[in-house]
Structures are given as structure tokens and as C-alpha cells.
A and B are shown apart, each in its own frame.
Chain A
């Protein structure tokens, strides 16, 4: 098994674990750090599966998009979108 293969299996396992933790956490705002771990793991999977220069763009676009979503969810729950 190549190092990239081991890394891929590990990222996949962490993504699965984080997905379960997101589902089990009752507090919506405390779900977001688990969702953050999920995004990290999936970003790693994208880069490991797409070893092409545009793979970096795809991984970064996925990561920034999911971060912005978490940001929006947290800010909406906090009662507004103005900077804190």
C-alpha cells in the first residue's frame, strides 16, 4: 500500500467518524467543529484522489465553500450577520 493509499483510508475513516459525531451532537452550534473536521478530511480525500493542478483548486474551493456555510449557519444562529 502506497503512502497516498494509507492517507486516503485514514482521511476516509476520519470523515466517517466526524459524520457520526455531527449526527449525534444535539447542540447545533457544537455540531460545527465536527463538521469542520469532516471538511478537512474530505478536502484531503479530494486532493489525494485528484493529483492534478486543478485538484488544488477543487480542494480549496470545497473547503472555503464549506467554511463559509458554517460561518453563515453560526452567524444566523447568533442572531445576525454583522461582524462581532
Chain B
């Protein structure tokens, strides 16, 4: 198969894997519950005013305000691309420091980075390149933060309602 086509298919698979990784961990750490900083709550209110949902908007505000599991997944992919598993672990340490710099007392970013390190490394053994996961994570975050805030926040709220029970 043509290399570019194969890489494109790999990137789409990587995007789905990254999406599942960061949404699962962010939901586990209850990001839609409340804004970590006052700015995250303000972003949520503006997204709600634009036709979105408050809980999903809160999660999007939290993603903007501090490195969460999505940032952890991206930096893990960068770390594995450059230096394998040690690179991913270095990225996790940097995400942990980044969380503290951003007044975030949670562990969503660090946990997401650690799980993504092993997921990305596992996929490299199956013929994927870590570079494809970097592009995949960029597409995954584009789907949440970069296309329609109203629609994305409603999708996140629906997942949050299932998780909350």
C-alpha cells in the first residue's frame, strides 16, 4: 500500500486511541465536575452562552487551563517518538511539574501521560510510528476544542452523565 495512505490510516487509528485514552482518564478524574481555576469556570459559562453545555464546557475550560490527560497523551507521544519509554516517563515528570505551575492539584495529566507512554510504545511494536500518535492526538484535540464548542461540550456532558450514573 502507498506509504502516505498507510500513514493516514495509522493516524486515524491513533486519533481514536488517543481520544479514548484522554476522555477515559479525564472522566475518571472528574474534570467536568468543577473548574480547577476561576478561568476554567468562566470559559464554561461562555461556551454555555454560545449554545453549549455547562459540564462539557467545564471540562473544556479545565483542558485549556492546565495540562490534562490530552496534553499528557501528546507529550507522551512526543517523548516516545524521541527517546522511547524513558522519553515518555520524562514527559510525565514534565507534565507533573506543569500541573503544579498551573495551580492544578490533580493527577489527570500525569496519569494520562503514563498510560499513553505504554499504549504508544505498544503500538510501535505493532508497526505504528510514535509520530503518527503525535498527529493522532492533534486530531483528537481538534475534534473537542477546535470545531464546534457547543456540539463538543454536549457530547462531553452526555459521556459525563453516563460516568456519573
List chain A positions with a Cβ less than 8 A from chain B: 1-4, 6-8, 10-11, 14, 17-18, 21, 27, 29-30, 32-37, 40-41, 43-44, 46-48, 50-53, 55-57, 59-61, 63-64, 67-68, 70-84
- In the bound complex, how far is the Cα of B143 from the Cα of A18, in angstroms? 12
A63 engages B98 (CB within 8 Å): yes
Given A3-B129, A53-B90 in contact, is the A67-B7 Cβ separation under 8 Å?
no
A67 engages B64 (CB within 8 Å): yes
> Closest 3 CB pairs between A and B?
A74-B39, A84-B38, A47-B78
- In the bound complex, how far is the Cα of B7 from the Cα of A62, in angstroms? 27
- In the bound complex, how far is the Cα of B36 from the Cα of A11, in angstroms? 28
Q: Which of B3, B79, B97, B142 contacts A56 (CB 8 A)?
A: B79
Annotate B8-49 by CB proximity to A: 1 below 8 A, 0 otherwise: 101100000000000000000000001111111111001100
Q: Is the interface of B mostly helix, strand, loop or mixed?
A: helix
List chain B positions with a Cβ less than 8 A from chain A: 3-4, 7-8, 10-11, 34-43, 46-47, 50, 60-61, 63-67, 70-71, 74-75, 77-79, 81-83, 87, 90-91, 94-95, 97-98, 101-103, 129, 131-132, 134-135, 137-139, 141-142, 145-146, 149
Q: Which of A29, A37, A52 contacts B42 (CB 8 A)?
A: A29
Q: Name 9 interchain pairs, CB-CB below 8 A, sorted by A.
A: A3-B7, A6-B11, A7-B132, A30-B50, A41-B138, A44-B137, A56-B87, A74-B37, A83-B38
A3 engages B64 (CB within 8 Å): no
Q: Report the nearest A residue to B97, measured CB to CB.
A: A64
